[in-house]
Amino acid sequence: MIFEKNMKYKKPVLIFILTVLIIGFIVLFTNSNIEESSEYSLAAASPGGTYFAMSGGLSTIFNDNIEGGNLSVQTTAGSAENIRLLQSEEVDFALANGSEIFWAYNSEGFFEGQNYSDIRIITFGWTNVYHGLALDKVENLEDLKGSKVGVGPRGSAAEIFHQIYYQEAGIWDDIDPVYLPPSDQVSSMKDGNLDTFGYFSGLPLSVIVDLASVRDIEFISIADFGKDFNFSQKYPFYVEAIIPAGTYKGQKEDIRTYANLTYILAHKDVSQDVVYDFLKGLYSEEGLEYMIGVHNRAKEFNLETIDKMVDKLGVPLHEGAVKFMDEN
């Protein structure tokens, strides 16, 4: 009887202890998940271009505004590879050009028959301008036949552009494409092992500043040649642009070229709050000032142009970006 009486009072105590333990395990498990989910990654590009420079600044902005967050930057081949990495959830964020974003989401062009429906735009970033350089003056595209042409790393926006452009010009099979990141292309041109190269970047492109200081270079007015085969009409995402005279040493004239718009992307499953807080930090007065210090092209970050040309790309905005725009 005494034993039964003692158990009568011990049962509520045991239930209380078990409840506390269960709650403790839940809290511990939840906290561990929060800690795990605070690790994020951004697919950028190879060193030497605007993507790489900007990615470091964006990482700092993210880490300063996401509590416990850590955004690591991954070196990649560039735009096309970044989209593949994002779709497969190997990264959470990515930088990519409008042309590749459109083709990927709509399963067209170089992404025909493939599914990239999980990518989302969070903001327009900046304009990347195509730089085409040669050691000798290029009077017409026929001059490039038999040349070693640096077309950028495999999987980059530059590689895709060169294939499309030179195929339309009818000389793709007559050139020797070399797949190198911009810094390596410049080194090869310095050594005379590359006849010409091209790359998309903001102005100025640091590796070209370096090259122009040690070699006489010629710019290729690639938009002028493109008129012969209506390139910008066939591919409207490559808009005509100008590299103003004096941008680089020895450049005495404006260079007519093409530009492509760069966007910051996120996987659709990235938290709405994370994207919202990231944008809030980026578009704060301090955030914009910091990014301009990272790269002059960051002057294009503007609340008025977050969704620039997004309707033409046909890619949805991330729900976190929608919330941020609604409030601003």
Per-residue pLDDT tens for 50-83? 899 999 999 999 999 999 999 999 999 889 999 9
Rg over alpha carbons for the chain, rounded to the nearest Å, is 25
Domain shared by 154 and 252, yes or no: yes
Residue 253 and residue 133 share a domain: yes
Name the band, by pLDDT with cuts 50, 70 and 90, for residue 3: very low
189 and 169 within one domain: yes
Q: Which domain holds residue 134?
A: 129-260
**Tokens coding 255:** 């260079």
Same domain, 183 and 246: yes
Share of the chain above pLDDT 70, in %: 89
Instruction: Give the whole-angstrom CA distance, residue 53 versus residue 45.
Output: 9
Q: Which residues of 46-81 are buried (b: 16+ CB within 10 A; e: fewer)?
A: bebbbbbbbbebbbbbbbebbeebebebbebbbbbb
119-134 and 218-219: which strand pairing?
antiparallel
127 phi-psi bin (left φ>0, alpha ψ -120 to 50, beta other) = beta
Q: What is the mean pLDDT of the chain?
A: 88
- In a domain? residue 29: no
223 and 112 within one domain: no
What is the pLDDT at residue 31? 45
Q: Which two tokens stand for residue 52?
A: 């790489």
pTM: 0.75
Residues 230 and 310 in one domain: no
Over residues 90-113, the mean pLDDT reads 94
pLDDT beyond 60 at 4: no
Whichever domain contains 58, its CATH number is 3.40.190.10
What are the phi and psi torsion angles at 99 (to 5°)?
-60, -50
Q: Tell whether 31 is covered by a domain.
A: no
State whether 66 and 165 are in the same domain. no
Regarding whether 136 and 120 lie in a shared domain, the answer is: no
Is residue 110 domain-resident? yes
Q: Are residues 121 and 162 in the same domain?
A: no
What is the predicted pLDDT for the residue at 28?
45
Which of 260, 278, 302 lies at the terminal end of a domain, its last residue?
Answer: 260
Q: Which pLDDT belongs to residue 237?
A: 83
Number of domains in the chain: 2
- The residues that bridge with 198 in the sheet, in sequence order, are 132
Is residue 113 domain-shared with residue 230, that is, in the same domain? Answer: no
Task: Give the closest residue to 164 by CA, choosing from 254, 101, 97, 234.
Answer: 234
